[in-house]
Amino acid sequence: MRGQCRRWGASFHLARLTGRPAGGESIEAWARRERYAALGAMARVAGCRHVLLAQHRRDQAETVLLQLLRGAGARGLAAMPSKVVRDGIIWCRPWRDHPREAIESYLRQHRLTFVDDTSNADPRFARNRIRLAVWPALAQAFPQAEPALATAARRAADEAQALRELAALDAAAVREGEALLKTAWLSLSPARRVLQLREAIAGWTGQGAPETLVQRLAEELPRCPSGRWPAPGGQLLLRRGRLGFVRSATD
């Protein structure tokens, strides 16, 4: 790759990840976070505002399957956006809606070299198990699986955006500062109550709301005058009709 960049007159930057996942953290999640951090750092050093990522339509379809197996809702099923702004950098996926075969054909036609990560063949990782064991059988049984799953992701992205807008409208009526007002929350339909709980918990904890916690709150909150529920990084506290989040002292 260094030689190819030299022929094109482009600068070449290389970074190697160091460290290891924290206890209980998956290698995939750790590697993804560190990879994006390294790419962002190199982009800033080089003065680049845009970073192009190489995911294609098959990657998008695999992501939808992974999210389904994790029990994700519309936001997770939306999979990978074509463009997102994060930390002052615009991350783009120009090939997200193109089949892998078309990209490989282009590479062969123009004799372009590429790097194939050997870890892509390691069945310890969930995505690789889908790619190696599940996808061949799925594609044989349903030849249109890849474009169909990509279409499902686009629809899920639209629905996720609509849900965010609805949640923002409801939040104006049921939130006061950081607290959720129980009486106002009870005036919502059950589905909108659950949506509001997911949004509130995600905002308080900085991570996705555990589904078991959301369902427990949806059932218990209406009949509890007060209460405490453990949550990531702290606990939820209901007092005087207001539900809020108290962060653990060690966090």
The sign one gets for the Cα dihedral 93, 98, 100, 102 is: negative
Domain shared by 17 and 90, yes or no: no
Please report, for the domain that includes residue 185, its CATH number. 3.30.465.60
Domain shared by 211 and 237, yes or no: yes
Count of structural domains within the chain: 3
- The Cα–Cα gap between 70 and 192 comes to 22
Instruction: Record the pTM.
Output: 0.86
Please report, for the domain that includes residue 146, its CATH number. 3.40.50.620
In a domain, 87, yes or no: yes
Domain shared by 60 and 41, yes or no: no
Which residue range forms the structural domain that includes residue 192?
177-247
- The Cα–Cα gap between 32 and 131 comes to 18
Domain shared by 39 and 80, yes or no: no
Domain shared by 2 and 41, yes or no: yes
- In order along its 251 residues, the chain shows pLDDT tens digits of 788 888 888 888 888 888 888 887 788 888 889 999 999 999 999 899 999 999 999 999 999 999 999 999 999 999 999 999 998 899 999 999 999 999 999 999 998 888 888 888 888 889 999 999 999 999 999 999 999 999 999 999 999 999 999 999 999 999 999 999 999 999 999 999 999 999 999 999 998 889 999 999 999 999 999 999 999 999 999 999 999 999 987 65
SS3 at position 176: strand
Domain shared by 6 and 59, yes or no: no
Domain shared by 153 and 118, yes or no: yes
Domain shared by 67 and 97, yes or no: yes
The answer to whether 238 and 221 have CB atoms below 8 angstroms apart is yes
Residue 246 is inside which H or E element, if any? strand 242-247
Domain shared by 128 and 102, yes or no: yes
In a domain, 169, yes or no: no
